[in-house]
Amino acid sequence: MNVEAYLAERHAVVEAALARALAPDDGTPPRLLEAMRYAVFSGGKRVRPILALAACEAVPADPVRAVPFACAVELVHAYSLVHDDLPAMDDDELRRGRPTVHVVYGDALAILTGDALLTEAFRVAAAGARDVGIDAAQALDLVARLARAAGASGMVGGQVADLAAERAVADPALVESIHRRKTGALIAAAVEAGGVAGGATGARRAALAEYGAALGLAFQVADDILDVTAPTAVTGKKTGGDAQHGKATYPAVVGLDGARDVARDLLSRCLAAVGGLGPAAEPLRAIARFVVERAC
């Protein structure tokens, strides 16, 4: 399959859904909405929501059923970037080649913009699930799982561990533990939510969970590699920023070649996990290859 055409088509579906989620309403101050939209419509590749749609297709089911959770995951991702970039955190002034939210809107509004995006994520998931006909008990379970993936034992916990590990002596086990929480948990949640929204149970659901866990880690390993090797024009970030911040990364603990071996091994695990799902899972396979191969 043509993965770039697939990604472009699904990207358009996600953009439209996010635009509906962030439409003006009576109570939202216009400048807050503007900052939220600035954060969300910033040229992101939408890998997480597209994974949710692809997992739903792989079940197989109509991907429209995955749209609410796909949007919710992307809003969580967008909020995390706004807060990560703050001066008190990573202090980044550039993201995807544009000034970061706090540079444009100030620190106070950036904090509140992140808070609003995180909150809207749960509104979109809970309110949208009904609209696409997901069973309420299952949707409630997915809301709880999304919160677990995004919260203290998931993404936020990983971010805290990441900050604590800066300038410390890291080892591969610590880096994996940080990456699995900081990046992996939300990606795995996207895949799982997409599958469950599509009606996956039993072996299919387990296969998707295995794929999601391996891909979530692979995504961050690839990101670590690209941070070292890719120019700003490709990543929209400063080359070597992780090393400058003393971040715990795979290239730092196992070297570039070692990190590439880890990424390739994770790709094999992704492909093996969904090997039994037939042609409907081809988008999931293509996305895994796309994520890993641009770094290897």
Residues found near its own copies in the complex (CB under 8 A): 25-29, 31-33, 36, 79-80, 83, 86, 88-89, 106-109, 111-112, 114-116, 118-120, 122-123, 126-127, 129-130, 135-137, 139-141, 143-144, 146-148, 150-154, 156-157, 159-161, 163-164, 181
Residue placing its CB nearer to its own copies in the complex, 68 or 195: 68
Residue placing its CB nearer to its own copies in the complex, 166 or 293: 166
What is the nearest approach in angstroms of its own copies to the Cβ of residue 272? 26
Residue placing its CB nearer to its own copies in the complex, 4 or 141: 141
Residue placing its CB nearer to its own copies in the complex, 154 or 283: 154
CA dihedral 259, 264, 270, 273 (to 10 degrees): -120
What is the nearest approach in angstroms of its own copies to the Cβ of residue 36? 7
Contact call for residues 187 and 216 (beta carbons, < 8 A): yes
What is the nearest approach in angstroms of its own copies to the Cβ of residue 214? 18
Residue placing its CB nearer to its own copies in the complex, 153 or 268: 153
What is the nearest approach in angstroms of its own copies to the Cβ of residue 26? 7
Closest CA to 97 of 224, 4, 231: 231
Q: How far is CA 75 from CA 168, 191, 239, in A?
A: 31, 15, 26
Tokens linked to 55: 């997992």
Residues 6+ apart with CB under 8 A from 115: 79
What is the nearest approach in angstroms of its own copies to the Cβ of residue 53? 21
Determine phi and psi for 135, rounding to 5 degrees.
-50, 135
Show the CA angle centred on residue 260, arms to residues 254 and 266, nearest 5°: 105
Residue placing its CB nearer to its own copies in the complex, 104 or 160: 160
What is the nearest approach in angstroms of its own copies to the Cβ of residue 89? 5
Closest CA to 175 of 89, 247, 108: 247
